[in-house]
Homo-oligomer: A and B are copies of this chain.
Amino acid sequence: MERVEHHASFGGWQDVYQHDSISLGCSMRFGVYLPPQVEDVKAPVLYWLSGLTCTEQNFITKASAQRFAAEHGIILVAPDTSPRGEGVADDEAYDLGQGAGFYLNASQAPWSSHFKMYDYVVDELPALIESSFPATDRRSISGHSMGGHGALTIALKNPGRYKSVSAFSPIVAPTQVPWGKKAFTAYLGNDPENWKQYDTVELIKTAQERLPILVDQGGDDEFLAVQLRPNLLKAACDEHGHPLTLNQRPGYDHSYYFIESFIGNHLAHHAEALS
């Protein structure tokens, strides 16, 4: 593991590391924010999963979450959104292949040899973080858009593993929307039954742990009606008694200007659960 960036930030350090991932079979980068508190004590960790086209850079340069991580004493870990490199399968479209890992384990060629973001985020990355940094094993998870999908599905599939979960503008029903149908067909094959294991609305039905879900959704998000459809999440949570706080934010779009405006609320939510 090699440190490739190191910046003082809000009394702590915003670093970027590069390492060879076993799950993904390629070199990967992740951002890690170490708050000032880790000089004295270990800190809990919030994992942030980014959206389509993003790398580890988007969240660490644009969300200004470090301000609140420093305040609450939380480590922030922001991985890349897919395996990368010349030997990794890719597609010309922005919503398939590199930059579009969808936080699942692909079963179909040519994707199945590297696209194991689920294993990477759930197991490999936390093990690396907890052995390499002053981190406790108290974890929370959040993300944006495709990364909101990742955060919600990973929390639902791993009861007890995360203290809290939240999302901005998540894809909540990938089996029902164009982004998800396209990616899941490629990564998981033609049988929609195999897609349900990575669909938040489906997972809510059988969730073993009623971990409260916090979602913020911009009202002027250009992907709201076709790709995101938070009403499907609300209906599923209502039907199955799953606790959900769905903050509708009129006027806000899908950008980091939206995330930045409300990231402080999400960090406070996670800080309470992690403390």
Interface residues of A (CB under 8 A from B): 7-11, 14, 61-62, 64, 66-67, 218, 220, 249, 251-253, 255-258, 260-261
- B-side contacts of A62, CB under 8 Å: 61-62
Contact A7 B61 (CB under 8 A): no
Known: A7-B253, A64-B64. 15 other contacts (CB 8 A): A7-B257, A7-B258, A8-B218, A8-B220, A8-B253, A8-B261, A9-B260, A10-B260, A10-B261, A61-B62, A61-B256, A62-B62, A64-B67, A66-B257, A66-B261
If over half of A's interface residues share one DSSP class (helix, strand or loop), that class is named, otherwise mixed; here it is mixed
Measured CB to CB, the closest approach of chain B to A159, in angstroms, equals: 35
What is the chain B residue whose CB lies nearest that of A256?
A: B61
What is the chain B residue whose CB lies nearest that of A33?
A: B257
Contact B261 A9 (CB under 8 A): yes
Q: How far is the CA of A260 from the CA of B10 in the complex (A)?
A: 8
Measured CB to CB, the closest approach of chain B to A185, in angstroms, equals: 33
Q: How far is the CA of A150 from the CA of B258 in the complex (A)?
A: 31
